[in-house]
Amino acid sequence: MTYRVETTPAAERDADAILEWLLSEGAGDTGRRWFSALQDAIASLAEFPERCPQAPENAVFPFEVRHLLYGRKPHVYRILFTIEEQTVYVLHIRHGRRQPLRQ
């Protein structure tokens, strides 16, 4: 089954902030390629999003929250999402070292 992937405004802001940071750090084309691959990882959720484990945040939300890990240590990002019928909603993109979200 193929799912539709939608990114929430909060996740869009997260992605914009990540790209802005990469460019401010002088990452240039390398940063743009990394960011493009992040977007590809998000798009990959269209196929079998259940492959991803439940996120630590799952316990505090009234709906299931999963995460897809992207990147290499120490620059691992967690793509937090929920699945509703045939749609994957990307909720946030957070650096792996940040504390889990609280409601």
| CATH class of the domain at 4-95 | alpha beta
Count of positions (residues) in the chain = 103
Amino acid at 47: E
Alpha helix segments (H runs only) across 1-103: 9-24, 28-43
Element (H, E) at 40: helix 28-43
- Rounded-to-integer distance, Cα 49 and Cα 75, Å: 22
Q: Across the strands, what pairs with 2?
A: 47
- Note if the pTM is more than 0.85: yes
Residues 2, 57: Cα–Cα separation, whole Å? 25
pLDDT digits (tens, 9 = 90+) for 26-71: 888 888 888 899 999 999 999 999 999 999 889 888 999 999 999 8
